[in-house]
């Protein structure tokens, strides 16, 4: 870690001036305090992720919107919307402040090294070679997915989605004038896998694209190379485009590994488009900035022209924030990974020892936990198989525990009885939420 990126607790908690962070070297020793409850998790401790950072009043979806919707009930533990409760990497704020101090907002391109830093980040962390000539800006990853679908698929074509899967894909697919072809993931011995026979059946019936979520939201799977190749071979055999949403790739727990789909080999890379963003890794969703790329230059040219994907001039502040993240945020990201890993293990232990009606095993990727709450639903009088037991569970946890988590049915028909919990918060908030949930369940 260079001295330019060594920031101590004071800088993280109180913020640093733009001139200090962007102009000169920062060589203050990093804090050595261990993160509370992290056990053996290794962290650089350049950043204090235990800070009780107050988000209330900013107008965000996660805190303010749920608190309005839940009235008169208090929700001190909003753990639904997939963003994080930590203070943003200070280099990002400094870069934005520096630009704001220039009081003119005429036409402006992305920073000159924007694509170079995208390429460097993916190469350094994942050994993936990204063809810079194909990088296209996106207004978030869904924008790229939608453009790829509109380019490749004809109106009415089926698009395969392996569920449970990210809820917004259920609207993106019809939004691109395509038809959802839902294929249930197979859960065996606590591990998810694709139903390859069902996938091939849907491809034979005419499905022309597959949306791959890697790592998988909400189950947390990091797909193995064998799983990806097996799925990719089917896509290639039936000439179906693989659209890889890899937005969660920077969050991988220490026992797992993320494998970029396009890194499997030329046959897979040439028949795929990858979408990514800094919005999850660095909590920049409000900047509406992402990117997509492929090894297939002809395909990307068609996406730009046929799919009308013209995003040359994207949100200036978004590209500045993303550029600073990839340029200076490696240590911050490493600390985040370690912290989320610690939260995951704490959750697993808590459920096993104190809240046995909720079943959870440490997931592989994302900062989202997939909780089996079927036993809680049964205690509440809603049997397994009931269509919307998740709505009942959501209401119960809000009203009785002040915890907001998301119904599993939001992510597909196989999500019934599960709830998605966001672990992108402080250990103290997670512990408070779990204690409140346990108390509520014990009182049923």
From the list 145, 140, 118, the residue with the least C-alpha distance to 129 is: 118
Between 12-21, 192-201, 288-297, 355-364, the lowest mean confidence (pLDDT) is in 12-21
State the pLDDT confidence band at 44, using cuts at 50, 70 and 90: low
Q: Which two tokens stand for residue 270?
A: 């040439």
In DSSP terms, which residues pair with 245 in a beta bridge?
Answer: 213, 275
State the pLDDT confidence band at 67, using cuts at 50, 70 and 90: confident
Mean pLDDT for 105-120 is: 94
In this prediction the pTM is 0.88
- Which CA distances in Å does 105 have to 92, 120, 196? 19, 29, 51
Q: Which two tokens stand for residue 318?
A: 């978004």
Chain segment 359-380, per-residue pLDDT in tens: 999 999 999 999 999 999 999 9
From the list 170, 210, 220, the residue with the least C-alpha distance to 410 is: 170
Tell me, what's the pLDDT at 5?
35
State the pLDDT confidence band at 70, using cuts at 50, 70 and 90: confident
In DSSP terms, which residues pair with 384 in a beta bridge?
Answer: none
Q: CA 286, 291, 295: angle at the middle one, nearest 5? A: 165
Higher per-residue pLDDT: 76 or 24: 76
On the question of pLDDT at 2 being above 80, the answer is: no
Tell me, what's the pLDDT at 38?
40
Mean pLDDT for 317-326 is: 96
From the list 275, 273, 283, 274, the residue with the least C-alpha distance to 318 is: 283
Tell me, what's the pLDDT at 385?
62
First to last CA, the chain: 51
On the question of pLDDT at 10 being above 50, the answer is: no
**340 CB-contact burial (10 Å; exposed 0-12 / middle 13-18 / buried 19+):** buried
Tell me, what's the pLDDT at 42?
57
State the pLDDT confidence band at 52, using cuts at 50, 70 and 90: confident
State the pLDDT confidence band at 66, using cuts at 50, 70 and 90: confident
On the question of pLDDT at 407 being above 50, the answer is: yes
On the question of pLDDT at 176 being above 80, the answer is: yes
On the question of pLDDT at 36 being above 50, the answer is: no
Residues 6+ apart with CB under 8 A from 60: 81, 83, 286
Rounded CA gap, 366 and 125, in Å?
Answer: 16
On the question of pLDDT at 97 being above 50, the answer is: yes
**98 CB-contact burial (10 Å; exposed 0-12 / middle 13-18 / buried 19+):** middle
**% residues pLDDT > 70 (the chain):** 89
Average pLDDT, the chain: 89
Residues 190/438, Cβ–Cβ less than 8 Å: no
Mean pLDDT for 149-158 is: 97
Chain segment 177-189, per-residue pLDDT in tens: 999 999 999 999 8
Q: Could you tell me the domains of the chain?
A: 33-89+329-444 (3.90.1150.10), 114-327 (3.40.640.10)
Mean pLDDT for 389-399 is: 94
Mean pLDDT for 385-401 is: 88
């Amino acid at each position: 870690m260079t001295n330019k990126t060594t920031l101590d607790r004071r800088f993280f908690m109180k913020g640093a001036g733009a001139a200090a962070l962007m102009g000169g070297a920062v060589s203050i020793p990093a804090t050595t305090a261990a993160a509370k409850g992290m056990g053996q998790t290794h962290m650089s401790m350049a950043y204090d992720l235990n800070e009780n950072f107050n988000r209330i009043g900013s107008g965000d979806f996660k805190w303010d919107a749920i608190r309005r919707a839940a009235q008169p009930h208090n929700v001190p533990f909003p753990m639904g919307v997939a963003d994080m409760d930590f203070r943003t990497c200070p280099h990002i704020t400094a870069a934005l402040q520096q630009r704001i101090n220039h009081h003119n907002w005429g036409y402006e391109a992305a920073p000159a090294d924007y694509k170079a830093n995208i390429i460097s980040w993916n190469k350094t962390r994942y050994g993936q070679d990204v063809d810079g000539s194909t990088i296209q800006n996106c207004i978030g990853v869904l924008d790229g997915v939608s453009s790829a679908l509109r380019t490749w698929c004809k109106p009415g074509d089926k698009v395969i989605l392996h569920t449970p899967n990210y809820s917004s894909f259920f609207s993106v697919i019809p939004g691109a004038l395509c038809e959802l072809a839902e294929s249930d993931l197979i859960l065996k011995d606590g591990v998810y896998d694709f139903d390859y026979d069902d996938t091939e059946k849907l491809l034979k019936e005419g499905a022309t694209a597959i949306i791959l979520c890697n790592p998988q939201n909400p189950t947390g799977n990091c797909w193995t190379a064998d799983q990806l190749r097996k799925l990719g071979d089917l896509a290639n055999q039936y000439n179906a485009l693989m659209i890889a949403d890899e937005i969660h790739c920077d969050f991988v727990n220490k026992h797992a590994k993320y494998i970029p789909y396009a890194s499997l080999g030329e046959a897979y890379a040439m028949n795929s488009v990858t979408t990514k963003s800094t919005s999850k890794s660095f909590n920049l969703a409000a900047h509406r900035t992402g990117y997509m790329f492929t090894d297939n230059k002809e395909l990307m040219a068609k996406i730009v022209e046929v799919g009308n994907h013209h995003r040359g001039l994207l949100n200036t502040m978004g590209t500045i924030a993303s550029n600073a993240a990839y340029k200076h945020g490696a240590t911050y990201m490493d600390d985040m990974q370690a912290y989320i890993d610690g939260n995951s293990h704490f959750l697993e232990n808590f459920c096993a020892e104190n809240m046995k009606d909720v079943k959870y095993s440490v997931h592989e990727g994302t900062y989202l936990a997939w909780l089996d709450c079927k036993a809680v639903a049964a205690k509440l009088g809603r049997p397994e198989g009931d269509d919307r037991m998740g709505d009942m569970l959501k209401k119960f946890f809000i009203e009785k525990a002040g915890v907001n988590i998301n119904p599993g049915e939001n992510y597909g028909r196989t999500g019934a009885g599960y709830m998605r919990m966001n672990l992108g918060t402080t250990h103290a908030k997670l512990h408070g939420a779990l204690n409140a949930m346990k108390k509520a369940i014990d009182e049923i």
